[in-house]
Amino acid sequence: MVFGVDEAGKGPALGPMIAAAVHVDDRTRLPDGMADSKDLAPDRREELAARLRSADDVAVGVRAITPATIDDPETDMNGLAVAAHAKAIEAALADAGLADSSLDGSGVDDDLPTGTCDACDTDADRFARRVTDACSHPIDVAAEHGADADDPLVGAASIVAKVERDARMTDVADTYADAGYGDPGSGYPSDPNTRAFLEAYVDETGTLPDCARQSWATCRDVLADAQQSGLGDFASE
């Protein structure tokens, strides 16, 4: 009973963060071609994600963290990543039919579901401990930096997470397209489409869109620039 966990969308200014866990009873049953999602073309990622979700001997769990939750001042991204990884693991184990009663923690470690997370903390061991404590199932989990490139099972989780986030960003684009705000792009601060989308929306409405992480510097800066511009227009009248 092994699983891999990864996330997509920890750093964007728009859209959710997605964590995914992929569970198999035997690593040899993992479909071929799994790799770090960043190294795969979008069509290939979608093909592999579909294969994972449709395979009878593969279980998948996904957890989404919304922009509103990310903006909560009582939270931080490392803590949210821990919670997302733990919830994704729980969902994957539930998809595999492993009920709480079958994981009572009475067995030795080798009897527990064992997995690897791609570490979202500079201290990988600390991240593993926090995920273990946050998960309602007894598990034996490790965390490693770069695990999505080194471990095909974590790579599989990165594929599912990336495809799920891309799908949600497509929904965001569809929601705002008809209103004429432009393409939100990838949602990352370095994407000029994302910046242009935010500026167009704020110029029109005076507020940030619901898909924005309002506490992110990119979003705060766009809103502040628009407000400053509005004050300048008022002063010149």
Residue ranges for the known binding site for a divalent metal cation are 6-7, 118
Q: Quick count: other Cβ atoms within 10 Å of Cβ 63? A: 25
How far apart are alpha carbons 4 and 52 in whole angstroms? 13
Question: What is residue 100's DSSP assignment?
Answer: G
Other CB atoms within 10 A of residue 114 CB: 14
Report the C-alpha gap between 141 and 154 in whole angstroms: 12
* Bind-site residues: 6-7, 118
Encode 201-216: b = buried (16+ Cβ within 10 Å), e = exposed.
bbeeeeebbebbbbeb
Residue with tokens 């242009």: 196
Distance CA 164, CA 62 (A): 8
* Ordered alpha helix ranges (H), the chain: 42-54, 67-71, 77-95, 124-134, 147-150, 152-177, 192-205, 217-236
- Token pair 């990864």 in the structure block, residue: 6
Tokens read off for 210: 């619901």
- What's the DSSP call for residue 102? G
